[in-house]
Structure 1
Amino acid sequence: MSDGPEWFAPRRFGIGAGLPIAWQGWAITAVYVVALVVCVTLWGGHGDRTKLIMIPLTIIFVGVVWRTTRGGWRWRWGEEQ
């Protein structure tokens, strides 16, 4: 069990996180998606300005998901979590 909040379920196979299991996980995912859509809508998705915003947003989002996944990120073979 992790010491911090648990907002995302671990993947059943492989490494990483699955779907959110708490409202905070859904909220951060929604904020991330809306930010990406706004960024692409405003700057077209191909310019340097878009990359300067999308890359740090993605790094922050993955970091939050990594820290808030129940049981952490490790390789799983489909056994019970």
Structure 2
Amino acid sequence: MAEWFYAKRYGYGASLPCSWQGWVVLALFLGLMIGNAVLFEDQPAVFTAITVTIVPIFIVIIWRTTKGGWKWRSGKDKDTL
């Protein structure tokens, strides 16, 4: 699997993107969330439904493409940012 995101140096999860694909995924996520907020500002049920769909997809993409995977780190791993 491709590596698009750095792992966090401390804690669990991912950090910043390490490839152009990661930056595209992050920009797309931010664009979708901002568009969602603007377009459905007065429709909280629609906003919530779209958010509940987009966020888990984004998390799974990051989880599957993080360099070194997700695990607890204490600052000693070399594949972190």
Given candidates 46, 67, 78, the residue that maps to 2:64 is 67
Answer with 42-51 or 69-78: which moved more.
42-51
Query: For residues 3-14 of structure 1, what are the structure 2 equivalents within 5 Å?
Result: 4-14=1-11
Deviation at 1:55, TM superposition (A): 1.1
Deviation at 1:46, TM superposition (A): 6.2
The superposition leaves residues 33-61 of structure 1 with CA deviations (integer Å, 9 ceiling, x where unpaired) of: 00000010011176010011011100000
CA RMSD in angstroms comes to 1.2
Given candidates 29, 48, 61, the residue that maps to 1:51 is 48
> Could you tell me the TM-score, scaled by structure 1's length?
0.92
Deviation at 1:17, TM superposition (A): 0.2
Whether 2:37 is the aligned partner of 1:33: answer no
> Could you tell me the TM-score, scaled by structure 2's length?
0.92
Query: Runs ≥4 in structure 1, deviation > 2 angstroms?
Result: none
2:20 corresponding residue in structure 1: 23
AA partner of residue 53 (structure 2): P
Question: How many pairs does the alignment contain?
Answer: 78
AA partner of residue 34 (structure 1): G
2:75 corresponding residue in structure 1: 78
